[in-house]
Structure 1
């Protein structure tokens, strides 16, 4: 059995709690905060409004040599303007549980992502995590630290 890995990333956003929630609870915005090199694309039919428990979202992602992978997640928990959770139902991980937490702080909103994941294939999955998966996920969050402020600029102007 492969190890379970954990990532915890926090970012301060210079917007109100309502603005942060509106942006991050819209699945259409996920593409904007994912590095272009990953070829991320939402393939499910767009659904108006915010996320809701039971919502299924389908994607393709190209994390290795441009080979497309199908990924399906379900929004399992939503506590408006506090947190939501997405869990993989089908895709590249044997476990994917991603918590998104939001809380007001001085100067804006603290957004915290907590991800627990496991890669299939036992020790080969652990090796893959060491060689590229773990690094790719860290790079994803470095990218988000850089790109999210410019994505939120439009919120500040409206």
Structure 2
């Protein structure tokens, strides 16, 4: 379900999920930034702060407030850099907790519905301290977030 690999100081997380929905339904749901709050664990206190997002488009800036762990919250700014209607979109961090964050969302029509693939390439700040943080809690937290999404989506879009 979830895999993370490291290459040249960059971690790449990949998650695949099969959903029994149409490509149109998947695109309508996932291309709406407001649904991020629904698929993010409540303990992260995820909140869009840039107002109601307009339809997704390249160059769109979306700001959030998020608590990556208890007692610490931060602002996060992402830009939608690429959009191919009903195929994929990419968001990249412009300001936030990572040195780099590049998140690809891919959608592929299949006989059972869709195959959705998330691919996140990220780099942590602070050199060896960031690598230690990856081992101690970042990996576990990302795994928890994507496990939550997987479970939520499976329940929401069940047959």
TM-score normalised by the chain length of structure 2: 0.91
Partner of 2:105: 100
Higher relative contact order (CA 8 A, sep 6+): 1
Runs of 4+ in 1 over 3 A off after TM superposition: 150-153
Is there any run of 5+ residues in structure 2 with no aligned partner, and where?
1-7
Task: State the partner residue of 1:151.
Answer: 156
Which of these residues, 57, 60, 67, is aligned with residue 65 of structure 2? Answer: 60
Q: CA RMSD in A?
A: 1.4
Pair 1:139-2:139 in alignment: no
> Residues 106 and 117 of structure 2 are in contact (CA less than 8 Å); yes or no, is this contact kept in structure 1?
yes
How far apart in 2 are the matches of 1:46 and 1:126?
35
Residue aligning to 1:121: 126
Q: Residue 26 of structure 2 aligns with which residue?
A: 20
Equivalent residue of 1:32, what SS?
coil
Bigger share in helix: 1
Instruction: Please say if residues 52 and 75 of structure 1, whose CA atoms lie closer than 8 Å, have aligned partners that are also in contact.
Output: yes
Tell me the TM-score normalized by structure 1.
0.92
> For the residues of structure 2 that align with 1:61 and 1:128, how far apart are their CA atoms?
18
CA distance in 2, matches of 1:30, 1:47: 11
Residue aligning to 1:46: 52
Give CA-to-partner distance per residue, 1:12-60, whole Å, 9 cap, x none. 1110000000000000000000011111111111133x21000000001
5+ long unaligned stretches in structure 1: none
Contact 1:6 1:116 in 2 (8 A): yes
**CA–CA distance in structure 2, aligned partners of residues 81 and 14 of structure 1:** 16
Displacement of 1:149 after TM fit?
A: 2.9
Question: Structure 1, residues 78-105: CA drift from partner, whole Å, max 9, x if none?
Answer: 0000000000000000000000000011
**Worse-matched range after superposition: 38-47 or 124-133:** 38-47
Following TM superposition, by how much is the alpha carbon of 1:106 offset from its aligned partner in structure 2, in angstroms?
1.7
- 1:58 touches 1:72 (CA, 8 Å); kept in 2? yes
